[in-house]
Amino acid sequence: MDRFYSLQHTPIEFHFRQSPRDFVVDEIPLYPFSGEGEHFVFQLRKKNLTTLEVVGMLSKHLGVKSKEIGYAGLKDKNALTKQYFSIHKSLEEKLKTFENIGVKILETTYHDNKIKTGHLQGNRFFIRLKKVTPLAAKKMDQALKEIKKKGMPNFFGYQRFGMFGDNHIIGEKIAKGEKSERNKKLKQIYISSYQSHLFNLWLSKRLEISALVNSFETEELTNLLNMPSEKIEVLKKQEHPFKMLQGDLLMHYPYGRVFYHEDEENIQRFNERDVSITGLLCGERVKLAQDDAYTIEKQYDDEINADGVRRYAWIYPTEIEKNYREEEAWYELHFTLPKGAYATVLIEELAKRPLKEHLND
């Protein structure tokens, strides 16, 4: 898909390839572990392995089913990542004999509950960009200031769509009953990819609309957006680069309940990062937008045999740190993202182009 980027600068050239040296992820737990309980929790560092590959290794070594191993989220393969896993404490001794060249257990504790998917606060990233000229570094400095101040769109990253970027095509066929997949985990991955593809298309469209509102006069926009001038004036008064439409479904940020935008005070709350706009991951049992927001959303909705959910459309990276090493032409970044957000999307926002180097790994 052709993504619409939120920042205004021209594309920035640099080299980026995911690798354990240049891409590091530290998982941030949702809450501190209690230190006691029936579940043995361990922080594991992995290199060049997916989370599911590690789960498979642990499952085989411990002699238990994969579902008995708890983890909060899936981490990148081509990276050095640290994340937490949990098993029943009766398996603790057996775990001590687990060995793999790409895996190391760093610390251990106990907790009352098994770690479940989604039970994390976010992730801390380190990324090294290479072949960065001084001019490119200055442009990235300014772009990061904008992201720090205004936030960024919460696209799904290329990792969501598989090695060849076509998982969503298979997912659509599976979701509509045109293709079967016996492996339950693989089936879910494919269907999620299709939902993510539609979300990305919707988000790109909303960014395009927001850019048009900022760039054209009201009279021109009435035809471009097929919207009365009164509503366009409301949009043009909004300070935020991502415009809130009547009928948008909002969610308290960084977590909270979903509710409809029916009060103009929500615009200021969005500016203050108290709430954020959500987009649709299509499916069953999910709230849909209304009014003007639904006019856009329905174009990217689909009836599929899967549960739907709302996802933040706009997020705010925190603790952004940067260091330009001119002699090496390296631009090094540290930043924290909420759960479900992709570090590579931030890098693509800086570059204003897709990062396709991963396809050559």
Active site residues: 76
Tokens of 285: 């049992």
Nearest to 202 by CA among 269, 287, 149, 277: 277
- Rounded to 10°, the helix 343-351/134-150 angle is 120
Could you please report the per-residue DSSP string of 28-68?
A: EESS---S-SSEEEEEEEEES--HHHHHHHHHHHHTS-GGG
- The packing angle between helices 167-175 and 184-215, to 10°, is 110
Q: In one letter, which amino acid is 14? A: F
> In this structure, are strands 258-260 and 249-252 parallel, antiparallel, or unpaired?
antiparallel
Instruction: Kindly compute the dihedral angle of the four CA atoms of residues 25, 30, 36, 41, in this order, to the nearest 10 degrees.
Output: -30
> What's the CA gap between 192 and 281, in Å, rounded?
8
Distance of CA 16 to the CA centre of its chain: 19
Rg of the chain over CA atoms, in angstroms? 22
**Within the chain, where are the H helices?**
51-62, 92-95, 134-150, 167-175, 184-215, 218-224, 229-236, 265-271, 291-297, 343-351
Closest CA to 192 of 314, 305, 54: 305
Beta bridge partners of 335: 125
